[in-house]
Amino acid sequence: MKTYYTNATIYRGGRFETGCLAVEHGRVVTAGEPRPGDRVADLGGLCLVPGLVDVHVHLREPGFPQKETIATGTAAAARGGYTTVCSMPNLCPAPDTPATLGEQLEIIRRDAVVRVKPYGTITMGQRGCGELVDFAALAPQVVGFSDDGRGVQSAELMEEAMRRAAAVGKPIVAHCEVDELLRGGYIHDGVYCREHGHKGICSESEWRQVERDIALAEKTGCQYHVCHVSTKESVELVRRAKARGLRVSCETAPHYLLLCDEDLQEEGRFKMNPPLRSRADREALVAGIVDGTIEVVATDHAPHTAEEKSRGLAGSAMGIVGLETVFPLLYKYLVLPGTISLERLFDLMSKNPRRIFGLEGGVEAGDPADFTVLDLGAQYRVDPETFLSKGRATPFAGWEVQGRAVLTVVGGKEVYDEMKVED
């Protein structure tokens, strides 16, 4: 039996077309005409796009189920229109051996409703120093290697990590942070920080390590991806690296595109790492997505308990949630005003992540049927109390947004359905 999704505006091959999408045995197939017994679902002219991909999420399991579980995190992802997420390795136990990775994979197999591609750690225990993991042993089951949450401090250690990652054909995905430049900071070292008596994190703590790593990537031939760039200097370093033809890419997050340190409030929902930077940094990041320097938007979805986020800027844990809000935020505040096109937004959230990380799924014949149906006219306010994620901390609470995922399909299975599509 085939399922026909009819009366859809399909984003395929870089353009929109009106038509239908047929699915059989979990894959997109040539449509043809429905036969008796086939299911026909009328999408009412809504927008059908390749499923969204988030290459940077924290699902917190195993180790911290009070913050999030694979079940709740992937439910939130499905609601946000994501069909694939890549899970960061700051877990307990850290996925630094096939055995510890296996604990995470077992939960994924049991509970995930979207595709979850885990990262392996770069160092044993995800310490950012010490002993490297066995890259070859982990490579078959990971999307890449990262110590996200910690920067690898030793250039020599990172160079060797890159050589080993290159040998197994996997990217290094780096959280760039020079520990000796942090100096106890927790928000951007800017005007707000100084006027309100906080401790600041300087921009150099990020871009200095990006600079180092790009040089090492050029030396080793390793594919290198920079997590959550937040500074104008990092954007320029990546731009120059790409101009030299290096295998370098980067991501930023919606909060860095829409907020800066002028928007800070004395609440934990405004605290994340890296921190909200200056207006000039935000403008450079927007310019980076416009000119293609920044190829990926990722959420850095990082849930914590309400208590952990209730201690203000100084005392709260670092991290906010984002899986359920990204598309409506960026559609409302970047696409509708004309800063970027809708096509560019889909490139940032779907096409480019798949290409860079070699991920499956889409809307072409033969693809695993991973797609999202969007109601671009839906208007509403961000309400954290409705989130499917356990996390509620978002700086966008109460914002007016537009556009929402109403149907998410993974491998032909409808894993989120707000439409209640009828035959």
Q: Tell whether the model's pLDDT for residue 422 goes beyond 80.
A: no
Q: What is the pLDDT of residue 382?
A: 98
Identify whether 362 is part of a domain: no
For residue 423, being part of any structural domain is answered with no
CATH of the domain at 79: 3.20.20.140
Q: 3-state DSSP helix/strand/coil percent for the chain, to nearest 5?
A: 35, 25, 45
How high is the pLDDT of residue 346?
A: 97
CA–CA gap between residue 154 and residue 180 (Å, rounded): 12
So what's the pLDDT on residue 45?
A: 96
> How many domains would you assign to the chain?
2
pLDDT per residue over 155-213, tens digit each?
999 999 999 999 999 999 999 999 999 999 999 999 999 999 999 999 999 999 999 99
Residue-wise pLDDT for 343-399, tens only, equals 999 999 999 999 999 999 999 999 999 999 999 999 999 999 999 999 999 999 999
**Residue of 260, 290, 128, 156 whose CA lies nearest to 216:** 156
Residues 386, 348 share a domain:
no
> Which pLDDT band holds residue 419 (cuts at 50, 70, 90)?
confident
Q: Is residue 361 part of a domain?
A: no
> What residues have CB less than 8 Å from 270, skipping those under 6 apart?
263, 264, 276, 313, 395
CATH code where residue 43 lies? 2.30.40.10
Instruction: Quote the CA–CA distance of 142 and 91 in Å, as a whole number.
Output: 15
pLDDT band at 423 (very low <50, low <70, confident <90, very high): low
Q: Are 335 and 201 found together in one domain?
A: yes
Band (pLDDT 50/70/90 cuts) for residue 281 is very high
Query: Mind listing the pLDDT tens digit for each residue in 236-269?
Result: 999 999 999 999 999 999 999 999 999 999 999 9
- Does residue 58 sit in the same domain as residue 37? no
Please report where in the chains the tokens 């197939």 appear, as a residue.
Answer: 29
pLDDT of residue 420: 76
pLDDT band at 421 (very low <50, low <70, confident <90, very high): low
Q: d(Cα 417, Cα 405) in Å, to the nearest integer?
A: 9
In terms of domains, do 43 and 56 share one?
A: no
Same domain, yes or no: 344 and 371: no
Domain range enclosing 200? 52-356
pLDDT given for residue 203 in this prediction: 98
Residue 349 structure tokens: 């959230």
What is residue 169's DSSP assignment? T
Asked if 396 contacts 382 with a C-beta cutoff of 8 angstroms, the reply is: yes
Distance CA 133, CA 339 (A): 42
Query: Cis link prior to 62 (omega < 30° from 0)?
Result: yes
| pLDDT tens digits for range 97-148 | 999 999 999 999 999 999 999 999 999 999 999 999 999 999 999 999 999 9
Q: Quick one: pLDDT at residue 278?
A: 98
Whether 59 and 36 share a structural domain: no
pLDDT tens track for 295-346? 999 999 999 999 999 999 999 999 999 999 999 999 999 999 999 999 999 9
Q: Are residues 24 and 62 in the same domain?
A: no
Residue 31 has pLDDT above 90, yes or no: no
Per-residue tokens: 53: 């991909």
Considering the domain boundaries, does residue 275 fall inside one? Answer: yes
Catalytic residue ranges: 300
Mean pLDDT, range 48-76, rounded to an integer = 98
Token code pair at residue 225: 């991806």
Could you tell me which residues come within 8 angstroms of residue 420 by beta carbon, excluding any fewer than 6 positions away?
A: none
39, with CB counted inside 10 A (0-12, 13-18, 19+), is middle
- Is 213 part of any domain? yes
**59 lies in the same domain as 202:** yes
Q: Which residue has the higher pLDDT, 420 or 47?
A: 47
